[in-house]
Amino acid sequence: MTPKRTLTTTGLAGLGVLALGLAGCTSTAPDGDTAGSTLERLQEDGTITLAIASERPYSWVDSSGEPTGATIAMHEEIFSALGIENIEVEEVAWDNLIPGLNAGRWDAVSAGMSILPERCEQAAFSDPEIMYTTALAVPTGNPQGLSDLDSVAAADGVTLAVQSGAIEDGYAEELGITDVVEVDSATNGLETVQSGRADAFALTAVSLNWMTEDMDDLETTTAFVQSLDGVEQVGAGATVFRPGDTELLEAYNEELANITGDEAAYLDLVEPFGFTAENLPPADLTTEQLCSGDLS
């Protein structure tokens, strides 16, 4: 019989998490320990601590205090298969996810984080888990007539909100968009548009569709794939580990393949959170390709 899994949250957020140092956290040395030690420790403890950015529907803490979301659902399945039955989460500002991981304050990042070359220099990414497109949250009626980030770049007097450190932040910089408001969470991005401090908020389409579904004052544009210098950008998210935790990463990828290699199993976990078969990564897309930036 499979033991019951208990999920808890410490409810710590943002910069305060890093400043406090989290003396009670379970992680190891900043750069990861010798191969296998982290996995063995987690299996012995039966608990893993995950950092989340509270971006719905990837991972967040619900009104009852329980972690939920598509990446949490996958992690319940995967870590249970690895003999780690209990998941604890830390709510963290996006910019602090990788620094806190490498400082040993949590064991992995569960946020659907994009696999990008500059991030691969700082941390180790699992195999791709979620594909996604981009969208804009705009005031109902879309008064500026915005459709994508190119339309933002071409418009006069349009202010764009982006989540600091997110892939859309990089897109805006590459496109030369200078009238930008950086926020530390998806919720704050939506509030920035609601308050009139920005005309649009750029984020993954699945997140914006989920978060604006019941809002009367905001709507989401049609999803798009951003192009930079004529090249369509591939958005693929994954779980993040410390570079030294190689055995944990390899064991994780073995269990992940059982999910991403079976469309029905994948949808059983993520479909309740608004994801579809279109979000399932293609079998020939690798983390090595995404980390190198060479998708030719």
Is 2 part of any domain?
no
CA 70, 72, 75, 80 dihedral sign is: negative
Whether pLDDT at 96 is above 70: yes
Is 290 part of any domain?
no
Is 47 part of any domain?
yes
Is the pTM for the entire model greater than 0.85?
Answer: no
Is 293 part of any domain?
no
Shared domain check, 124 and 168: no
Local structure of residue 208 (DSSP, 8 states): H
Q: CA-to-CA distance for 170 and 106, rounded, in angstroms?
A: 26
Q: CA-to-CA distance for 77 and 262, rounded, in angstroms?
A: 14
Whether pLDDT at 172 is above 50: yes
Shared domain check, 271 and 160: no
Shared domain check, 23 and 165: no
- Asked if residue 283 lies in contact with residue 261, where contact means CB atoms within 8 angstroms, the answer is yes
Domain of residue 213: give its range: 134-232
Residues 6+ apart with CB under 8 A from 259: 74, 77, 78, 265, 266, 269
pLDDT digits (tens, 9 = 90+) for 134-157: 999 999 999 999 999 999 999 999
Shared domain check, 71 and 158: no
Q: Compute the CA torsion angle 196, 172, 108, 63 (nearest 10 deg).
A: 20
- The CATH number of residue 91's host domain is 3.40.190.10
Residues of 26-59 as b/e, b for ≥16 C-beta within 10 angstroms? bbbeeebbeeebbbebbbeeebbbbbbbbbbbbb
pLDDT-derived band at 232, boundaries 50, 70, 90: confident
- Asked if residue 180 lies in contact with residue 161, where contact means CB atoms within 8 angstroms, the answer is yes
| Peptide linkage before 3 cis (omega within 30 of 0) | no
End position of a domain, from candidates 174, 209, 232: 232
Question: What's the total number of domains in the chain?
Answer: 2
- Asked if residue 86 lies in contact with residue 6, where contact means CB atoms within 8 angstroms, the answer is yes
